[in-house]
Chains A and B, each alone.
Chain A
Amino acid sequence: MQELLDNLKELYALNGITLRNPSLAWAEVTPERLVGLLTQLRDAHGFTHLVLMTCVDWLEDGRFQVTYLLHNYTTRQDLGLHVYVGRTASELPSIHTLWEQGRVYQQELHEMFGIYFPGSPGLGEPMILESWDGPPPMRRDFDTRVYSEETYSHRQRTHHEPEQHMKDRLYPED
């Protein structure tokens, strides 16, 4: 794994390489070199399986961290790639040409974080948030509580102390 990453480091300007254990490594890559790197990993190094694509919102740093996790079935190794992208007008290259299921992840990231993936099929269609028209809800500056209080009507809550409640029910005279 170390050897592979060392080889690729020069070519793809990999950053922050960490080897967690012999079969799991992380690295950072820039958005421009992402698709080239993924293609090489898939076609030349056996990382044929896209395990997941996910995103973390680092609100304080003003950027999103998008993670691509790949798996190699012959060597049983996982490789995670981090890509950082700004929080406003975020745009990343689409990988649906490499892995078709990337389309679904990209659709979800678009819906939940508002990241744009040019060319990804079905990107504008609602998936989970059908009928909903607020901002992307997983961004950390979106306050779900305020939104829910403004949008939906809530039932008034009443609280009962269990002990007192049962007393009143069972022994109303006392």
Chain B
Amino acid sequence: MSDIEQKDKPATQPEWVKDERTLTNSALPSEEQDWFCDARPRRVEKHWQVLENFMNWARAHSLWILAFGTGCGAIEMRPLVTARYDISRLGMQMRPTPRQASVFVIGGYVSLKTLKRIVRSYEQMQGPKFVVAVCSCAINGGMYWDSYNTIKRIDEYIPVDVYVTGCMPRPEAVLAGFNLLKKLIREGKAEGQNLYADKFDWYKANQKQVIKDWNMPDYNW
């Protein structure tokens, strides 16, 4: 689980915050600002426990992966679908669009250009959604620790549920990561989506700090 601490709130609101519930989309041209939703993500409240347990069981057994490889580690995703590792026996499969996916696998180093797409894809995924960060590069920069264009800590920009270390991790390690994710989901501990909703301002401020030409809606879904 991530070890982020909430930083102090800024004294003045940034220009992309209108009020508690509304975003301004101020980075877009004025005629486009209405095209996108101005609501923030909201926390998903829990049902009563028995129902929640059943739903978590069901969620853990149909994880659909967004087929979006950010770096070289994503090459290890391909063998997972082959007969040898066969993730479909775990109820997992690759989906081509964020709308149909529930697991986002960060497969390797994240450059600034990719981070923009990652944020957009992550926000477009429908809940419940989970993030698995594969590769050292996504965790602490890996061998790109002194690179000018690589994000060192992906968990400051989107919430991460499970990390898989290695450069690059073997498919077995990735599978172990998925098993851990399933365990967390069944226990109701994979709460990345709610974390994102709760600390939305903090995540957004981090994203805008490094993405210098922010030209997207403030929350894309």
Contact = CB atoms under 8 A, between A and B. Distances in A.
Interface in B111-147: 112-113, 115-116, 139-141, 145-147
Contacts of A148: 145-148, 150, 152
A171 interface: no
Interface string B56-89: 0000000000000000000000000000000000
Which of A131, A144, A153 neighbours the largest number of chain B CB atoms within 10 Å of its CB? Answer: A131
Nearest to A148: B146
Given A154-B140, A157-B140, A144 B152 contact: no
B152 A155 contact: yes
Contacts of A144: 146-148
Nearest to A137: B148
A144 B140 CA distance: 16
B211 interface: yes
Which of B115, B116, B213 neighbours the largest number of chain A CB atoms within 10 Å of its CB? Answer: B213
B201 interface: no
B97 interface: no
Interface string A152-170: 1111010000000000000
B153 interface: yes
B149 interface: yes
Interface in A48-65: none
Interface string A78-96: 0000000000000000000
11 contacts: A130-B113, A132-B148, A132-B149, A132-B212, A133-B212, A134-B148, A148-B146, A152-B152, A154-B141, A154-B153, A155-B153
Given A126-B213, A130-B113, A148-B146, 8 more contacts: A128-B149, A129-B112, A131-B213, A145-B146, A148-B152, A152-B153, A153-B152, A155-B141
Interface of A: 126, 128-134, 137, 142, 144-145, 147-149, 151-155, 157
Interface of B: 112-113, 115-116, 139-141, 145-153, 156, 210-213
